[in-house]
Every structure is written in C-alpha cells, then in structure tokens.
Amino acid sequence: MKRIEKLALIGFMFSMLSTTGWAQSADDKYGKEPDECKTQLSLYREVFKQKNYKDAYEPWKWVKENCPMASKNIFANGPDILEYKIKEAGDDTALREQYIKELFDLFDLRIKCYPQDEGYALGRIGIYLYKYYAKKEYQRIYDVLGQSIDLDGEKTSAQVLDVYFKASENKMKLDKLPTEIMIDAYDKITDVLNSQIDTCELKHEASMRAIYKLREDLDSGVVTPDEYAVIYEERAADSAKTAHAWKQYINVSNNLDLRFSKYAQCDVLMDIYGKKFESNKTDERLLKQIIKFFAKQGCTDNQLFSDAVEAFYQIKPNANLAFNMARINMKKKAYSAALNYLNEAISMYEKESDKITAYIIMIECQKQLNQYSAARETAYKILKLNPNDGRAYMLIGDLYAGSAGACSGLDIPGSVYWAAVDKYNKAKAIDPSLAEDAQKRISSISGRFPAVSTYFQLGLKKGDSYRVGCWINETTTIR
C-alpha cells in the first residue's frame, strides 16, 4: 500500500504544509534564507538546552516551517516543546487542539523529510493519539500502531508495543469483540518483544563478558591497575546502557503477561486451540501459538501442550522445542531421554541465560540418576558462563547434602554436610540475594553435623581441615 493511502487509512487530519519555500535537497537544507535559518536554529537550540520550551517555541517553529531539513533535532525536540505548549494552553480547548494538531503535523513532516522514519513516526502518532483521544480515536490508534509494528518489526519500541496492546483492549471492549483479538494482539507483540529481549540480553551478556575478561587481565598482569580503572569505567557504562534497554523490554513483557493472563486462562486456550489442533496438526504457526501461549499461562501440564511440542519438534526442531521435550520427559521420569534433549538444546542456544536454565534442569536429571559427579561438573559449567551466579554453588551444596546416604561409609559419616556448608557460604558471598535461602539450608543441616566424639577419636578437633572422600573429594573445615 502506498504511503499516501496508508495515511488516508489512518484518517488523521494531516494538512498540506504551506509552501514557505523550504528545500528538501540535501545541498540546500537551510532553505531560501540560509543565514536566518542558522540564526533561528541556534536560538532555539540554546534555550531548548536550558529546557526553556516557552522561548524555544517561536524560533523552533520558524525553522520547522522554513528549513526543516536543517537538523533532525527539529523532530527530536519538537514533541517536548509542543507538549509544553499543550499543557500551557490549559482550559483553552481551541488553543490546546491547535498545538495537538501541530504535534501530529510534525510527525507527518518527518515522514516527508525522512521517509525511512515512517514506522517510528506512525508509532509516535499512535502513542499521542492514545494519550489525548484514547477512546474517541480507538480504531485509528489500533490501525496506526499495528502499521507501525509492521513497518518497524524488530526495531519497534517497547512503548509502541505496550500501547498497541492497550489499544487492542479498547477496541475489544468498545466493539464488543471476543477475547481472541487479545490473543492475536499478544501474538503480534510478543514476536517482536521476544526478539528484542533476546537481542538486548545478548548485548548485555557480551558487555558483562568484556568486564569478566578485564578482571582476568588485571589478575594476570595484562593490564595495570590504572589501565583497568579507565577501561572498566567505559565497559561498566556500556553494561549499564545495555541493561537499561533490556530492562525496558522486560518490564513491558511482564506487564503484558499480567494483562494478557485474564484473557487466556487454560480453559479458554483449550476451547480456542483444541479443535484447531485436531484438524491440523502440521500447521507451524498454530503449533507455535499453542506452545507460546500455554507456556506463558503455565498450562504446560495440559496434554495439548505436550502434543503440540512433540508435533512441532518432528517438523522443525529447535532449542526451545528440545528444552520443552526435556521437560515433558522429566515429567515421565524418563531422565536419560531428558538429558539428551537438554544437551541438544544447549548446543543450539545462543543466550547464556537459556543455557544456564537448561543446565539447572540437567542437574536435577543427573541427580535423579545418581550421577552426582556429572551434576557437579554441570554446575561448574554455569559458573564458567557467569562467575557471579551463586545458584551453581547452591546446587552443589544441595548435591553434597543430598548424598549423605550414598557416602555413609566415610570415616566421619555426615562430614558431607560440612562440605555443603562451604558451598552455601560461597553462594552467599558472590550473590547476596541468595543469603537468606543459603542460611536456611545451613540452619537445616547444622543439626546433622557429626558428633564431636566421632572425629575426636580420630585425633581431630573443631577447626581442623578434613578431606571428605566418597565422590566429593574436597577438603573442608571441621565444625
């Protein structure tokens, strides 16, 4: 569909800008009055930097109308200036509407000057339409934001995705539509949202790996303390930036999940997808929807979920499907099969967090198969990916504490609990958020420490070192 037709579909009151002579040529970006354009541009920028939006308005408006290609800041700063004017208009409805219209015209002008920004501009139009005319223009908002997502795809901002879901709710309620519209909206949003979350997470993981590597370089003498300080500041700033972007999408995802949950209870999903699945078990889009929605809503014990996972895995195996196949086999207590699927998932996963999640499940399978040494090795793989993940030490501690029966032939029965406490303390040290859980575990097993008489007769006393044998083979402290 041509852009003009798209704007007509939106139905917004975009007026043709007055022919004041601004040039669209990159060679003539300052318009017919270049000296005046530069003067007005400088004037507005100076007061804008001081957040003096009142005095910035007139020179900004002159530049916008006469030489809008002079600087892209005209479009970046304009919304702040115009929102100030809208607020300043107060109860003067006519004046307020005038500035609101000018705000929307600004985005139309942005599309004319920078056609590549159309998706972004339409997204901002939809957001401001929702802000000022949420119910009155609900259909336009729904259309504009949907179009913005279609155009921008994975570049769509978190705010656009969030407001699109709200607009879908308005449309459903005002048009009295079935809840399937919310499922469709959620499906459209989460494809983009999940992609952005993955992208942001991968960038953050890369920034954290750079910090871990820098610490290693400091310890090994590759960089001096002074060099470390300078480089660390840069890498920490990059890490904070990537973490912020990731958090924005995570927050929107969490809020969407909460709002979506009331429209897609397990019984509702069964009603919608049960018959569809029976009539077409090879429709990839259908299978993907079933798996995504049932997983989000915690309906994974449902047989339809298992059937969809197995059907999709046969058609197009991937990391997430292999992981879900592992979970299904765990429920069947087919732990060896589950391990095979987990290894397959880990080999395909890109994100460290996904690999770590799979490793945690793998440890449980190995524990059920009495593969304690293998389980500990898996826990250390977690630490190799993230040295600050205290859960790995918690899991090793659980393995040690849980193997008291298997290690009953030790010289000091129960010494496995001392080794377990070492790991729980290590978990607390590297991850304070685990301190409470770790302490609870320590308190729980302290009553099972060996009696003093047990090690006293071996010539040992509290505080001495003792090597715990069995499969553990680690030196601990007698307590």
Please spell the DSSP secondary structure of 192-217, one letter per residue: HHHHHHHHHHHHHHHHHHHHHHHHHH
Mean pLDDT by 10 residues, the chain (479 residues): 41 38 55 94 95 96 95 96 95 95 96 96 97 94 96 92 95 92 88 87 91 91 92 92 90 85 85 87 90 89 94 95 96 96 97 96 97 97 95 98 90 94 97 96 94 88 93 95
Q: Which helix (H) or strand (E) holds 256?
A: helix 225-261
pTM over the 0.85 mark: no
Contact 416, 401 (CB under 8 A): yes
Residues in the chain: 479
**What pLDDT is attached to residue 119?**
96
* Angle at the Cα of 142 from the Cα atoms of 141 and 143, rounded to 5 degrees: 90
CA gap 424, 431 in Å, rounded:
10
Phi and psi of 321, rounded to 5°? -65, -40
Give the alpha-carbon dihedral of 231, 233, 236, 237, to 10 degrees: -120
CA gap 385, 341 in Å, rounded:
20
**What pLDDT is attached to residue 224?**
93
* Angle at the Cα of 134 from the Cα atoms of 130 and 138, rounded to 5 degrees: 100
Tokens of 170: 């308005």
CA gap 83, 90 in Å, rounded:
11
DSSP 171: H
